[in-house]
Amino acid sequence: MHLIILTQYYPPEIGAPQARLSAIARHFVQRGHLVTVLTGMPNYPQGKIFPGYGGFIRRETYEGVEVIRTFIYPTQKADFFHRL
């Protein structure tokens, strides 16, 4: 089976959602499933894209999981207007 996970947060970012989704993805890969994660470039919690990442689309394999990262507009602002 091919599973697709769509998420805003995924490792190498650190946090509870990232850890949970990564564990779920690894669980399915270990059982022989194909897992693809669609996410943005890592930027949490600083609001700046991590060094080594960038561009519009980046494909990588992280712990056996195919990860497709897309461009996002990161911001450190927490208010609603800046998140639009």
Q: What angle do CA 16, 58, 13 make, to 5 degrees?
A: 20
Tens digits of per-residue pLDDT, 35-79? Answer: 999 999 999 888 899 999 988 999 999 999 999 999 988 877 666
The predicted pLDDT at position 73 comes to: 85
Pairing of strands 2-6, 57-62: unpaired
Q: Residue ranges of the domains in the chain?
A: 2-83
The first and second tokens of residue 14, run together, are: 């650190």
Write out the DSSP string of 10-27.
-TTS-SHHHHHHHHHHHH
Lowest mean pLDDT among 7-11, 19-23, 44-48, 78-82: 78-82
Q: What angle do CA 32, 30, 14 make, to 5 degrees?
A: 130
Q: What global pTM score does this model have?
A: 0.84
